[in-house]
Structure 1
Amino acid sequence: METTSSSPIKPRRKDKDEDGCTEEDNSKDQGGEPQRKILRLADAPEAKEVFLNETYQQPEVTQWLQKTWTAGKTQEIKEEHTGAQVFADPFQICLLPGMLKQGQSQALVAEIIQKVQWSRKQMDLYEFYQSTDLSNMPTCRLLTNFLQVLRKQVRPWLEKVTNLKLDYVSASCSMYTCGDYLLVHDDLLKDRQVAFIYYLSPWEGAEEWTEAQGGCLEIFGSDDQCFPQFPVQRKIAPKDNQFAFFKVGSRSFHQVGEVTTFDYPRLTINGWFHGETNEAFVADSLRAFPRLNYLQPDSLNKPPLGLFLNNVYLKSATRRSIQKRIEENSEICLYEFFKREKFELARSQLLADSDTLKWWRQGPANAHNYEVLDLTTARGTILELIQLFRSHAMFDLLRDFTDLDLAGAEAERPTCSVELQRWSHGNYTVLGDGLAGEENTLDLVYYLNAAEGAAVITYLSPDAEMPAGKTPMDGRQSDYEGEEEDDSVLLTITPVDNALNIVYRCEGTTKFTKYVSRNTPLEKGPVFVISCSYKE
C-alpha cells in the first residue's frame, strides 16, 4: 500500500471545537460566556493596589518557613499563628492561607470579570480557559499590581525560604468550569524552579471547596524511575486567598482534578518563578515510557472467519473496495464487522463477568489511565475474539484489506499487539506516552458497549507544530486550537458499537484518547475497546 509520510491519514477538517462552538462563536466567547460563568459575586470593595498580609512579612514567620522547608521532614507541619502548612511527602508543598489582606481577592475577581479576555485551551492534557500573561495586561491595574507584588516582594521572600536563586516571574489567570481539568504533569522545563497557585474563590459559602466540587490540586507519588503512580496521594481543595507553591522537579507530579460543580468556576492566578537551569531537567529528559509488546501471529489457533465476520466482509469485491479506500484515505470504518450474535455475546460477558475477568490499571499516570484485561483470564466469546485478532486468518484478511505484507510466503516477520481496554470516567491517554509511531503501523480499534464521548481517539500529523506564542502551560510544543492548528488533526475516531476502525499510521504520527469527563453519560456501563497494532 502506498501513502506519503507527510499525510499519513487524510485530514478531516474540524469545523467546530470540542465544545461544539465554531471559531466565530469562540471569538464572541472571549468576552461573553467565560464572564457569564463568574458573575456570581457580591459587590467587591474598590481597590487601587493589592497588599500582602503583613503577618507573612514578619521575620519569625519567614524563619519558621525557611527552617521547615529546608528540613524536608516527611510529616505535615503547621504554623499555628498563620495557619501555613508544609508537606514534604511525596514532594515539598507549602500552603499560605490569607496571603493578601482581607477583601482583596474580591477586588481581583471583580477586575477579572470586567477586563480579562479568555482563550479556550483544549488538548490531550487539559481543557480550561486561560488569560494572557499578566505582564501583557496594561488595562488591568490590580492584576498588574499583583504581578509586581510577586516580583518585588514574594520572589525575594521565596529565595530566603527555599534557598533558590529566582530571576523572574511568569503568571496568568486560569478558569476551570464544570468538566474542565488538567492531567498529570511535573511542570519541569529548563528554567522553572518554583510553581505557584493563588486561589480566588470569594463567593459566600464557597470560600473553601469540598472534594465533591472537584478542582483539587491532586498530588502523585512516583516510583524509582520517576514515573507518577496511582492513586492520588494528596488533594488540596481550592480555598480563597490561599497561595500554594512547590519546587519543580522530576517528581513534582500533580494535576487539577475535574471541576464537577456548575455553581462556581475554579479561578486562580498561577505560574512559575524562573531561575538558572533546573538540575532535574537533564535527567528527566531521558525518561522513556513503556512500549507496547508485539507478538507474532498465533499459529495454534485457526478460527474460521465465517463463524465470526459479517459475510459481506468475506466477499472479494468488498475486500477490493476496502483496499482502494485505505489506499486513498489511509483509514476506514467497517460497520457491523462481526456477526451480531457474536458481538452481543462478547458485550454481555464483559458487562456481567466481574469474578473471572481480571483487570489492571495501565499507567504511568502521566501517560495512561485506563484498565486492561489480563488476557489469561479471558473466556468464552471474549477469548475467541482475542485469539481471532492474533490469528493467521486475521493477518491474511488485513493483507487483503491493505496490501501490507502481513501474511504469505514473502512476509518477513509480521507482528501484532492486542489489548482489551475498559474505559470509564476519568480515563485518558496523552501525547508523548510512548505510542507515537516510530515506524509504520496498522491500527485496529473495535468498540463494545460504545457511548458518545468515551474512548474517543485523535490522530495528529507528524509535522504538527504549535504556532509562535501558543505555548501551553505545560510547555510542550503542540496544540490544535483554531484555524492554524486545524490541519494537525488527521482523524478522530468516535465510538460505534460493532464497528472496526482500520487506520494506517505512518512513522511519527501521534495519537491520544480524550479524557472521559464525568459529564459523559455511561448509563450502560464502561466502554470496552479491542485495540490492536500490526507491523509488517
Structure 2
Amino acid sequence: MSSPQKDIEEPTSSNDVKGAEENAGKEEVTAAPEPRPPAKRPLSSTVIEISDTESDDSDVCAVTSYQASADEVKRIRGADYSSSSSSSSSGSYSSDSESPWEDDSLLVAEPRVRGKLPRACLNPRASRTDDPLLNPALKSQELIDRLKTHWKEQKDMSTSEVSLTCDPFRLVLLHDLLSNADIINNMVDDMNTLDWTRKKMDLYEFHQTVDLASLTWQRSIKGIYELLKTEIMSWVSEVMGLELVSVSASCSLYGPGDHLLVHDDMMSDRRVAFVLYLAPWRCTYTTVHTVHNGDGDHSTSDQAEGGGGGGGWSAAMGGALRLRARDGAGRAGGAARAVLPRNNMLALFKVGPDSFHQVEEVVSLEIPRLSINGWFHGPAPPTDPAPPPPPPYEPPPLLKPHNQVVVLSEWVDSAYMSPVSRAAVQAQMERDSEVSLRAFLLPERRRQLLEALQSPEVEWEHVGPANERRYCRVKLDGLEAGAAPPAGPAPWAGAGAVRALLQLAGAAAWLRLLQDCTDLQLRHYQRLELQRWQRGDFTLLPPRSHYQEARLEAVLYLGVPERTLCGGCTTYVAPEEEGEPEAEGGALVTVPPVDNALTLVYCDAGAASFTKYLSKMTMRPDECFYILTCTYKE
C-alpha cells in the first residue's frame, strides 16, 4: 500500500533502478514498467479579477487555490463522509485495485497562466473622464446634403446611419448617434443619482427629472446635454432648414403601466421634438401584446421601426412611440407608424398641427423605458402657415325632464328611499360636495341590466377624437330618455332594458330624488351617456369653455371587476390653479370604479373632470364595465 508521503512525491531515478533490479530476477526479457505521474494536481496561485467596468476603481477578488485534507473535509461535510482518493491521517489507503499507482482522482492538465487574466465586462463603461461623441458618419456633408434634399421634397430615405419617413409626418431616426456607445452605461449609472419626480395627470403618468441644464456633476448626462445644444442642434438646423436657438431636455423613466397619451407638442416656441433612447440591456420578452393605449383603431398596415438590432427592447414590452395620422377634420385619427426604443437611437420630428403622437403603455416588469427627451426651440418659420383656430364650442342642448311614469322603488334600493336616509345624504353633500351611494340599484335590476348590455341588440359607437377621449357609448337612435316607450310592459332584455335605464336618468321623478339628496333646484339635464369601458380607454380634460358653469354630475358604475384596477377612476380637478392638478393633494374629488355605486359631485365653475386611462395591466382583453353619466343644472 502506498503512503501519503509517496502520493505526492515525484518518482526518482533511484526508484526506477530498484524496480528494474527486482524484475530482472523473475523475467529478464520484461522491461521495467513506465512510472505513472502523480494523481494530485500541483497547487495554483491564480489571481482572478471580477469587474464589469474598465475603470481603475474596479473590484479585485484574489483567490488562492487550497487543497483541504480529509479531516477538514469530514469536519465540513460530516463524519459519514469518506473518499477513496483522499489520504487519511493514519496513512491507510483504500482502493479496489492492488496497483500501487491506482487512484480515483481525475488528472487534469492545467496550463500555467502567464500574465494577468482578462476581465469579463458584462456592461462595459467608458472612462469617467470621457464625453459623449457624435458619430463621425453623421457629420458627412454628402449624407447631410442628401438628407436635406429628401426632407425638403418629403421623400423617404434609408441608410445604415439614418432613415427618414414621411407618413404620417416626417420623422428622422439616427440609428447610432454616439460613436462611444459604452458611455450610455455611464448615463444609466448617473441616472441613479438624480432626483426623480412622479408626473401624473390626465395625459400622462411616468417619472421625470429636472431640466438637464441644472445638473452639476453627472458628467455623462451633462455631456450629452452639451452635445445636444451644440453639434446636434446645428446638425438638425441644417437638415430641417430651421433657426434653432436653445434646447430643453430631461430624463424620463416609464415603469409598468406608465404612458403618454395622444398630443401634438405644440406649445410656445417648440420647433423640433427629440427622443434619445437608452436601452443597453438584453431583451427577454417574446410575447407580443396586440392592444395599445388609445390605439384600438390601428390597422394591420402599422409599421414598426427601431428595436431589433439595437437590443434592449421588444414590442411585447410596450413603450413604442406611435405616430398618428389626421382625419378629414384635422383631428388625431388612426395610428400609422410605431417606433420601438433602440439603444443609442435618436428620433427627431418637427412640431406642428399634424405631429400627433403618443407613448404606448409600458408592460415590462423587469426593466424600465429610459430616454433623454425634449425640444429644440426657435422662432416660427415665416413660411409655416399659422395653426388653424379651434372650432367654436357648441354646448350640448339642455333637456327638460320628461313626465313619463317611472317607479323609483323598482330601481333604487330601499335603503335610499326613506326620508331619513335622504336627509343624511343631503347633510354629507352640504359638508363635502360629494357623496357615494353603494349598492344603489336593486340586485335583480342590476343583473338584468348587465345581461342586456351584452346583447347584440344594443348598438355601440366609438367616441373620439383620439387626442381627447376613447371609449364606446350606446347609440341613442330611438333610445333617448324622452322617447316614447314601446306599447305594453317594458321588456327587461336587450335594448328595452337600456331604454328603461336612460328614461330613468331623464325622468322628473329621478330629478326630485336628486333634489332631496342635494337640496338643489334641478331643472335641466345634458350629456346623458351610457359608456362601455375596456383597457386603453380614457378621457382628457375638456377645453376651458366646457366647465364655466356650476353643475351636479352623476356617475354610476356597473359591472366593475371586484379586484383593484389601475385607472378607470373619475377625477375632478381645478385646471386653472397653478401646478399639476392631480399631484398629491391636488385632486378635488376622486371617484373610484366600484360596481353599482352612484356618486354625486357638485362642481363649481372652474372645476373639470376626466376619467383616468384604464391600464391593460389589470384588465383582460375581453373584460369591460359600464358607466352611466349625466350632468344636471339648476
TM norm structure 2: 0.70
SS in 2 for 1:503: strand
Kept after mapping to 2: 8 A contact 1:441/1:534? yes
1:1-150 mapped onto 2 (5 Å cutoff): 42-47=123-128, 48-73=130-155, 77-82=156-161, 84-150=162-228
Q: Which amino acid aligns with 1:342?
A: R
Q: Deviations over 1:255-312 (max 9, x none)?
A: 1101111122111111100001477999558425876634423536321112211123
**Match of residue 248, structure 1, among 351, 355, 362:** 351
Aligned residues: 469
Match of 2:466 among 347, 358, 365: 365
Q: Higher mean Cα deviation, 433-442 or 212-221?
A: 433-442
User: In the alignment, does 2:578 pair up with 1:465?
Assistant: yes
Matched ranges for 1:252-267 at <5 A = 252-267=355-370
Look up the match of 1:449: 559
Question: 2:418 pairs with 306, 315, 338, which one?
Answer: 315
Distance 1:234 1:289 in 2: 31
Q: CA deviation at 1:405?
A: 2.2
Alignment partner, residue 538 of structure 2: 428
Find the aligned partners of 1:265 and 1:316 in 2 and give their Cα distance: 54
Kindly provide the amino acid, as one letter, of the partner of residue 357 in structure 1. Answer: V
Greater mean alpha carbon deviation, residues 372-381 or residues 150-159: 372-381
> What amino acid is aligned across from residue 509 of structure 1 in structure 2?
A
Match for residue 274 of structure 2 among 174, 196, 202: 196
Q: Could you tell me how far apart the structure 2 residues matched to 1:139 and 1:148 are?
A: 13
Equivalent residue number for residue 388 of structure 1? 504
Please say if 1:214 is aligned against 2:318.
yes
Q: Is 1:489 aligned with 2:587?
A: yes
Shift of 1:479: 4.1
Q: Which runs of 5+ in 1 are unaligned?
A: 1-39, 408-413, 467-477
- SS in structure 1 of the partner of residue 458 of structure 2: coil
State the match for 2:441 in structure 1. Answer: 338
Q: CA distance change for structure 1 residues 228 and 98 in 2, over 3 Å: closer, same or farther?
A: same
AA of the residue aligned to 1:315:
S
Shift of 1:242: 0.7
1:337-387, Cα deviation, whole Å (9 max, x unpaired): 22111011111222x32x222222221112111111113376132221111
Equivalence for 2:32 = none
Identity within the alignment, %: 33
Equivalent residue, structure 2, for 1:30: none
Counterparts in 2 of 1:90 and 1:381: CA distance versus 1, 3 Å: same
Q: Give secondary structure in 2 for the equivalent of 1:215.
A: coil
Worse overlay, 110-119 or 384-393: 110-119
- 1:421-444 Cα distance to aligned partner (Å, 9 max, x none): 111111111223568422111100
Question: By how many angstroms is 1:318 displaced?
Answer: 2.4
Distance 1:300 1:155 in 2: 67
> What is the CA distance between 1:415 and its match in structure 2?
2.8
Q: 1:232 aligns with which of 324, 335, 347?
A: 335
Equivalent residues of 1:108, 1:142 under 8 A apart: yes
Which secondary structure does the structure 1 equivalent of 2:184 belong to? helix
Distance across 1 between alignment mates of 2:386 and 2:457: 42
Kindly tell me: are residues 280 and 423 of structure 1, through their superposed partners in 2, closer, same or farther at Cα, counting changes over 3 Å? farther
Is residue 521 of structure 2 the alignment partner of residue 405 of structure 1?
yes
Deviation of 1:534 (Å): 1.0
Instruction: Give the Cα separation in 1 of the matches to 2:382 and 2:365.
Output: 41
Aligned residue identity for 2:470: N
More helix by share: 1
Q: Specify the SS of the correspondent of 1:115.
A: coil
Deviation at 1:496, TM superposition (A): 1.6
**Deviation of residue 102 (structure 1)?**
4.5
Residues 388, 430 of structure 1: alpha-carbon distance in 2 compared, 3 angstrom cutoff: same
Give the corresponding residue for 2:548: 438
CA distance in 2, matches of 1:133, 1:280: 31
Any idea what SS the aligned residue of 1:232 has? strand
- Superposed CA RMSD in Å reads 2.5
> Please, what TM-score do these two structures have when normalized by structure 1?
0.82
Deviation at 1:81, TM superposition (A): 4.2
Which residue identity lines up with residue 42 of structure 1 in the other structure? N
Contact 1:105 1:241 in 2 (8 A): no
Match 1:305 to one of 408, 411, 414: 408
Distance 1:108 1:224, change over 3 A: farther
Find the residue that maps to 2:499 and give its secondary structure.
helix
Deviation at 1:41, TM superposition (A): 7.0
Q: Supply the distance in 2 between the matched residues of 1:181 and 1:459 (Cα, whole angstroms).
A: 20
CA distance in 2, matches of 1:371, 1:279: 42
Distance (whole Å) between structure 1 residues aligned to residue 621 and residue 255 of structure 2: 23
The CA distance in 2 between the partners of 1:289 and 1:312, in whole Å, is: 45
Equivalent residue number for residue 495 of structure 2: 379
Give the match's secondary structure for 1:420. strand
Task: Report the CA distance shift for 1:283/1:465 in structure 2 as closer, same or farther (over 3 A).
Answer: farther
Partner of 1:171: 249
1:532 aligns with 2:633: no
Hey, what does 1:499 align to over in structure 2?
597
Distance change in 2, residues 1:104/1:459 (3 Å): same
